Chain A
Amino acid sequence: MNVRAHVSMVFHLDKCIGCHTCSLACKNLWTDRPGTEYMWWNNVETKPGTGYPTLYEDQEQYHGGWVLEDGKLRLKLGSRPTELVNISFNPRLPTLDDYYEPFTYRYKDLIDARPGEDQPVAKPISMITGEEMEIEAGPNWDDDLSGSPVYASNDPNLKALDQEQRKQFLEMQQLVFFYLPRICNHCLNPSCVAACPTGAIYKRGEDGIVLVSQEKCQGWRMCVSGCPYKKVYFNWNSGKAEKCILCYPRLETGQAPGCMHSCVGKIRYLGVVLYDADRIEETASRPDRELVEAQRNIILDPFDPDVIRQAQKDGVDEKVITAARKSPVYKYVKLWRLALPLHPEWRTLPMLFYVPPLLPVTASLTQQGRYELATDFFSSLESARMPIRYMASLFTAGDEDTVIAVYRKLLAGRMFKRAETVGDIPMEKALKALEEAQLTPREVEDIYYLTSLASFEEMFVIPPMLREVAIEMGVEPHEFQEERGAGFVRIPERGL
């Protein structure tokens, strides 16, 4: 056992209203520079949908992540020699067309227009060339399905459904969607790190944040292809790869990341989990259906005396262990087993987790003009509006049982609270559902509290991370800034 700490996040998808505030906070903080216009380190996708960049989930096209060959993990991108051979032209690199050409409008036209009969118009211009352009795509072109089943029907996850299910699913009246906010997953087995020929990408030992060293990066672009989530981006201006940094300068000063801090629906939880670094490869090499359970197992119980002893031995600070005990992420992922990793079959062991959405309850209008809940909704998962198989394709590598277990808990919790507060469901029925879902009323109250009532301090629990304190006395601050701090001693300018 080799205990390390990891700063992780949970997204409660039932609470996401798709407002994109997180994306904008991130954009304004980090990607408003030349070369980064098209990047959205945080983006919110409508699911079903094709995502950003388009069809990033289709690994037959992009070759991201890992594959298991004869029980061994290999980069889907290819062997090391293959990568070096492809270094002058990366055949798996998404181009700007797969994202979108960033645009703005020439607002000055509105002011400079000569008086005339017609209303002046601000023409769209490319943010890269400054030339006039036709807008053909955007970072959220299929937002809310864009009033069409076209985007939804191209979702790679729909391959999990059979012909009939697909048809039913895509009928406009049946069509239902939810939002999927995505940032870098700060994986335990990151394929971007493995794909980087230079070794410029690294994982921080103390908190697990994955970063690109801007000094070391030489712009070979293999990380962009290697990451199955397409969360490493190429800055065309600096010639360097960039990615979500989990707002580490904010974390180190005790503030929540920009996306989390600005979240309107309070869907995000951030906390520390302890994990066993000796079992990373073993966990990532399990068969598809065992991946979620294996990842739950690699996360360690911070109350277990053995774990605590080993953590102390491995240099995990006491404050970090304390934070791990109060971690909302630990509760959702390990204790309640409600939060699942996104696409575990890519075997990067992503360390962000999602509570799948229950979606609005199906209801019908009665003759008396009263909404009635569909009678079988709480008992029958088969009538769920989003097919279980679709969710399994997203969150459990196709294992429906794991998704059903999560939904049973979520539904039982709702039934129990409904019976308690509204009373239109008999309590016996609710208690029976709890039993089936293997939940106790006490647990439901805890889940309910953290889901609906918790304060920001309970949703965001990190130990003090001041890097300056972690540096020994006697190290020149200037040297520290050069070697380990955020930012540069000199202005980072594009090379010639």
Chain B
Amino acid sequence: MDAFWFIAFPYLALVLAIGVGIYRYYANRYSYSSLSSQLLENRKLFWGSVPWHYGITLILLAHLFAGLFPDAAAFILGGRIRLLVLELTGMALALFALFGLIVLIIRRLPTTSLVRRATSYMDGIVLAFLLVQVATGVSIAIFERWGSLWYLRTAVPWFWSLVKLHPDMSTVATLPGFVKVHFVVGFAIILLFPFTRLVHLVMFPIYYLWRPYQVVIWNRRPGGATVHSTETTR
């Protein structure tokens, strides 16, 4: 059973996430949107969206950094004080994100509210999975302390074994149940990614930092033969 969840399932999730994500982008780009409901409800969104997005973004980046550069991460976590500070920071961010997520869920609960009208069943599924994921993450931080360190010796080798197509789940097989749930739900969320609003994650418009302010599109460029060219005035 573990072999399915820790070897087959991650591959399935990643292949679908990339394959369907790309297909959806080219086949139905219109469906790519943040699907914001801020117009309909503003106040709860502030207390939900801001903690959630900042908290989870930083935590995900930390996971990603440690996963990609385990040696560097081990070096940073080498000192007692540094480890303590980083663990506490991670814990604070996780609770911050959890608080935001709970507000976001409460926000969508009332059945007659305006926001509910802009809520799909998929939103419910996404919120449920995220709640399980963040809750297990927080409990790992509380009950299985120094996760930032043992993560490097358990999940990271397993992750790299998947990448290198030599799947080896021995480092994670003996971990407690709720830690395993955290891993599996993590890949479940990756699987959900192309089928839900989570696609907005990869659409983050970082290129806004350097794109020219004005966009002018010509149906036919004056004096030239190019059709549909983009030109900027600033």
Q: Which residues of A contact B (CB under 8 A)?
A: 80-81, 83-84, 87-90, 93-96, 101, 126, 128-129, 131, 189-190, 193-194, 197-199, 201-206, 214-221, 234, 236-240, 277, 280-281, 313-316, 467, 470-472, 475, 483-484, 488, 490, 492-496
Which of B32, B49, B231, B233 gathers the greatest number of chain A CB atoms within 10 Å?
A: B233
Q: Are B213 and A89 in contact (CB under 8 A)?
A: no
Q: Smallest CB–CB gap between B181 and chain A, Å?
A: 25
Q: Which residues of A contact B139 (CB under 8 A)?
A: none
Q: Which residues of B contact A493 (CB under 8 A)?
A: 30-31
Q: Which residues of B contact A203 (CB under 8 A)?
A: 214-217
A-B interface, 10 closest residue pairs, ranked by CB to CB distance from nearest: A315-B222, A495-B31, A239-B33, A197-B205, A205-B218, A88-B53, A194-B213, A197-B208, A239-B35, A202-B215
Query: A93-B42, A202-B216, A206-B220 given. 16 additional CB < 8 A pairs?
Result: A84-B206, A88-B52, A89-B45, A89-B53, A129-B114, A194-B214, A199-B208, A201-B215, A202-B217, A205-B231, A220-B205, A280-B214, A281-B234, A483-B228, A495-B32, A495-B33
A199 to B213, CA, bound (A): 8
The total of Cβ contacts below 8 Å across the A-B interface reads 171
B145 interfacial contact with A, CB 8 Å: no
A294 to B31, CA, bound (A): 42
Could you list 18 examples of A-B contacts with CB < 8 Å?
A89-B45, A128-B117, A193-B214, A194-B214, A203-B216, A205-B217, A205-B219, A218-B205, A220-B34, A221-B36, A236-B39, A236-B117, A236-B118, A237-B118, A313-B223, A470-B219, A471-B220, A475-B227
Q: Which residues of B contact A84 (CB under 8 A)?
A: 204-206, 208-209
Given contacts A129-B117, A202-B215, A218-B34, are A96 and B50 in contact (CB under 8 A)? no
B200 interfacial contact with A, CB 8 Å: yes
Tell me the nearest residue of chain A to B123, going by C-beta: A496
B81 interfacial contact with A, CB 8 Å: no
Q: Which of B41, B117, B209, B225 contacts A80 (CB 8 A)?
A: B209
Q: Are B222 and A215 in contact (CB under 8 A)?
A: no
Q: Which residues of A contact B42 (CB under 8 A)?
A: 93, 95
Q: Are A204 and B30 in contact (CB under 8 A)?
A: no
Q: Which residues of A contact B49 (CB under 8 A)?
A: 88-89
Within 8 A of A (CB), among B22-44: 28-42
Q: Which of B207, B208, B230, B233 contacts A280 (CB 8 A)?
A: B233
Given contacts A204-B217, A218-B33, are A96 and B209 in contact (CB under 8 A)? no
B148 interfacial contact with A, CB 8 Å: no
Q: Are B222 and A80 in contact (CB under 8 A)?
A: no
Given contacts A95-B39, A128-B114, A494-B31, are A205 and B222 in contact (CB under 8 A)? yes
B153 interfacial contact with A, CB 8 Å: no
| B154-192 to A contact mask, C-beta < 8 Å, 1/0 | 000000000000000000000000000000000000000
Q: Which of A128, A198, A206, A471 contacts B208 (CB 8 A)?
A: A198
B116 interfacial contact with A, CB 8 Å: yes
Q: Smallest CB–CB gap between B45 and chain A, Å?
A: 6
Q: Which of A90, A194, A215, A470 contacts B38 (CB 8 A)?
A: A90
**Interface size counted on chain B using CB atoms at 8 A:** 61
B129 interfacial contact with A, CB 8 Å: no
Q: Which residues of A contact B107 (CB under 8 A)?
A: none
Q: Are B34 and A496 in contact (CB under 8 A)?
A: no
Q: Are B223 and A95 in contact (CB under 8 A)?
A: no
Q: Which residues of A contact B195 (CB under 8 A)?
A: 496
Q: Which residues of B contact A194 (CB under 8 A)?
A: 213-214
Q: Which residues of B contact A494 (CB under 8 A)?
A: 31, 35, 120
A489 to B228, CA, bound (A): 18
Given contacts A89-B50, A194-B213, A496-B120, are A472 and B225 in contact (CB under 8 A)? yes
Q: Are B211 and A199 in contact (CB under 8 A)?
A: yes
Q: Are A129 and B39 in contact (CB under 8 A)?
A: no
A187 to B146, CA, bound (A): 57
B92 interfacial contact with A, CB 8 Å: no
Q: Which of A87, A95, A314, A492 contacts B40 (CB 8 A)?
A: A95
B203 interfacial contact with A, CB 8 Å: yes
A202 to B215, CA, bound (A): 5
Q: Are A95 and B209 in contact (CB under 8 A)?
A: no
B89 interfacial contact with A, CB 8 Å: no
Tell me the nearest residue of chain A to B224, going by C-beta: A315
Q: Which residues of A contact B34 (CB under 8 A)?
A: 218-220, 239
Q: Are A83 and B219 in contact (CB under 8 A)?
A: no
Tell me the nearest residue of chain B to A233, going by C-beta: B39
Q: Are A88 and B216 in contact (CB under 8 A)?
A: no
Q: Smallest CB–CB gap between A103 and chain B, Å?
A: 12
